Structure 1
């Protein structure tokens, strides 16, 4: 699915720091920023116990950008800069894609 998304022009995504960043890294996405979990924005009926092994059920949001040279990459949790604003995380991922990021 990620490969098809990039073929159609998808170049940025964000996901919770659970198993998804590893799958995304294999498809060529690299982390550009992290946003710490905020209970106020938790999805309805979030499974804190189900995701307990990921920062006690409160995983970061990871902002990732596509890099065709990184297909088959390996994700390391915590890489990229930490931001305190969701829109800034998106902006950093977009900047990475344009080649202007400092991360």
Structure 2
């Protein structure tokens, strides 16, 4: 796994940041990606179709954006219909 390791001055603690999350800086927009994350976070587990309904966007657009979030490790997906839920990383990001 590619990581950035930051060692803290006072102790042997470190923070590991997956490099793929740095892609988030380049792809993040306050628009649809953030909207999708908030919807999934608030609802716990939600289908692509429901996300499309909540956002007013086409299912194909939502599927593409959810795939990008999954690639970044921010959501997980499974099943048919495709169900989406947030990862622990997203919970930490949103709650802090």
Scaled by the length of structure 2, what TM-score is found? Answer: 0.28
Specify which structure has the higher proportion of helix: 2
Q: Select the structure of larger CA radius of gyration.
A: 2
Higher RCO (C-alpha under 8 Å, 6+ residues apart): 1
Scaled by the length of structure 1, what TM-score is found? Answer: 0.27
